[in-house]
Structure 1
């Protein structure tokens, strides 16, 4: 398998952590989807990363689709429960974490990639409100549990860890840990895992 992605994308990092936790071999192909030389469009019509190229079965895109497929490839460390209430709860965690990533990426692009006269500050504030609301929700839901779903690592933790890591990367001056002690504790624990350490994005 080949994974097309960038080192700073939290969605790509989520997939890479799953690959590491599942002990699956792959080749990482770096690509800048915003650059003129991008080649991800040859495999994903939306021109986004991550994109997983499979030997005989074409390509998969969208991190949620990719991680669900990867979890079926090996019985090692199942990360997604079978259909039922527990699975829905894991996917709910993933949806909130991905929503935080979406809002953070949108705010970063607006404030760092758009010329200042064209920036919409009200829209950026709206994205930061989404981030704060998502963090509040997850911190309360996590509580004193060791992991998002109790005592074992699952996809929920990986998605949350990728989102928190992206906030550290793009908004290092924003102390999201203040007021979110449960998430701060989880992030510290996840940071010691080899899968998280090996995929930590380079400093901006």
Structure 2
């Protein structure tokens, strides 16, 4: 697998963590460099990361979006330590991921807009995005059972989504995660995994 993205992207990090947990090597192409970004644009009209290119037996497959890439890795190599939800749990996991990704995308948009000189107070829309982040973080804390969204301990896609989002929030100083004790404990527990420590974002 050839993986395009940045080392600070939480969505790219999810793919990196899954690949490491499954013991799958990959070539990482940083899109922070002009040549890497130019190469990425040859594979996706979205110009977004993560994008993964698989070449097998002379056949090339290009996948966009972390969920698609992770689903493909699972189908090819099994789920490793990750537990997929039962049919009865699936709706809860999908809701959790939808909420977490909504907060993460809002936070990323605010981060880049602030880099362009816009403050959160510049428009009601931006204020709403900031409030959405806070709402989701409060909700997520209320749903946790230790290091899982489910009463039985598990590492699934919802937990991976939350962990990478929280680490991004802390790394980019986007949200005061420390005011949520359960979220802090969740981070602490999962940070013990080598794949989590190895992929923590760095400047």
TM superposition score category, shorter chain reference? 0.7 to 0.9
Look up the match of 2:176: 175
The 5 A counterparts of 1:1-204 are 1-32=1-32, 37-55=37-55, 56-77=59-80, 79=82, 81=84, 84-112=87-115, 114-116=116-118, 120-142=122-144, 144-149=145-150, 150-171=152-173, 174-178=175-179, 180-203=180-203
For 2:52, what is the secondary structure of its paired residue?
A: strand
Please give the alpha-carbon distance, in whole angstroms, between the structure 2 residues aligned to 1:157 and 1:44: 28
User: Which stretch shows the higher mean deviation, 149-158 or 40-49?
Assistant: 149-158
* Partners of 2:13 and 2:199 within 8 A in 1: yes
* Partners of 1:4 and 1:51 within 8 A in 2: yes
Report the Cα offset of residue 132 of structure 1: 0.5
Listed one character per residue, the Cα deviations across residues 98-122 of structure 1 (whole Å, up to 9, x for unaligned) are 112101101101111x2459x8343
Listed one character per residue, the Cα deviations across residues 56-105 of structure 1 (whole Å, up to 9, x for unaligned) are 24200011211122222223525352672323322222222211210110
Q: CA RMSD in A?
A: 2.4
TM-score calculated relative to the size of structure 1: 0.86
Please give the alpha-carbon distance, in whole angstroms, between the structure 2 residues aligned to 1:116 and 1:101: 18
TM-score calculated relative to the size of structure 2: 0.87
Report the Cα offset of residue 36 of structure 1: 9.6
What stretches of structure 2 of length at least 5 have no aligned partner?
Answer: none
Say if 1:10 and 1:35 are closer, same or farther in 2 by CA, change over 3 A. Answer: farther
Q: Which runs of 4+ in 1 moved over 6 A?
A: 33-36
Report the Cα offset of residue 35 of structure 1: 8.8
Please give the alpha-carbon distance, in whole angstroms, between the structure 2 residues aligned to 1:18 and 1:166: 17
Please give the alpha-carbon distance, in whole angstroms, between the structure 2 residues aligned to 1:124 and 1:25: 40
Please give the alpha-carbon distance, in whole angstroms, between the structure 1 residues aligned to 2:35 and 2:60: 27
Please give the alpha-carbon distance, in whole angstroms, between the structure 1 residues aligned to 2:11 and 2:34: 15
Please give the alpha-carbon distance, in whole angstroms, between the structure 2 residues aligned to 1:80 and 1:33: 35
Please give the alpha-carbon distance, in whole angstroms, between the structure 2 residues aligned to 1:182 and 1:34: 40
